[in-house]
Amino acid sequence: MAFFNEPHMKHFSHYCGFLLLFCYELSVMTHFTISINRFFAAWAPFYYEKMFSLKSTRMILVILWVYTGSVAWLFYQYFCHLYYDEETHFFTFTKTEFCGQIGWYGDFLKNAAFVAIIVGLDVLTVLRVRHMTKKVSTSMSEDTQHNFTARDIRFLKQTVFQGSVFMLELLTYFFFPIYFKNQWIVFLGTSFAWVAVHAADGMVVIVCNPEIRRFLMCKKPMHQVSVTRSFNTQNL
């Protein structure tokens, strides 16, 4: 649409906008669910198996997809459209007061709040794991303690980086059109950043987790010995 001025893609761009926004919100909600999973594994280990059994987890995922899909269809397909604007070169909501409120409150503020909650939950999880690790450190070797510490630091970095990526994209998407008039700057800060955030999210996971890099490069996993006490470290 941007480079080749393709009229058919522009005409049906609101379907593309709906699909992209649905995937974006599903990604945020999935991160939120994973953060709750980690939080309960660290803070309520005795209730974890019951709350996040295989059956319960499948039910949670179904509810997550149905809820996110229903809200996205209602807001971004029925009430309003998210379409490609030729004048500004980025996806924008239908230009009505109601759709503007949906974009601000239903998209920006809602997703920003969820990102902040995700970061908060993950930080609390790291603090809890660090506290429990210190309690059992007397029965661990020095190498095992070092592995736990390094893993905690990597997880904290991943949490902060992922939250920063999502928050940065939200800020550029909603504020770049206000402060910049150059069409390509607006395009890169809105439509391109909106799609690129998912690739950046995956890159953060790869960079912060050496075991994933080893798996992708088909290297044999490194065997580590860990100690489990009253909380389930494997789920973390």
- Read off the pLDDT band of 58 (50, 70, 90): very high
Q: What is the pLDDT of residue 216?
A: 85
DSSP string, 116-178: HHHHHHHHHHHHHHHHHHHHTGGGS-HHHHHHHHHHHHHHHHHHHHHHHHHHHHHHHHHHHHH
Its pTM stands at: 0.74
SS3 state of residue 92:
strand
Mean of the per-residue pLDDT values of the chain: 81
pLDDT at residue 200, as a whole number: 86
The domain segmentation of the chain, as residue ranges, is 7-156
Please say if the pLDDT value at position 139 is more than 70: no
**pLDDT at residue 151 is higher than 70:** yes
- What does the pLDDT read at residue 38? 87
Residue 228 binned pLDDT confidence (cut-offs 50, 70, 90): very low
Decide which of 182 and 62 is more confident: 62
Q: Which CATH architecture has domain 7-156?
A: Up-down Bundle (1.20)
What's the pLDDT score for residue 138? 61
CA distance 174 to 221: 43
Report percent pLDDT > 70 for the chain. Answer: 86
pLDDT higher than threshold 90 for residue 178: no
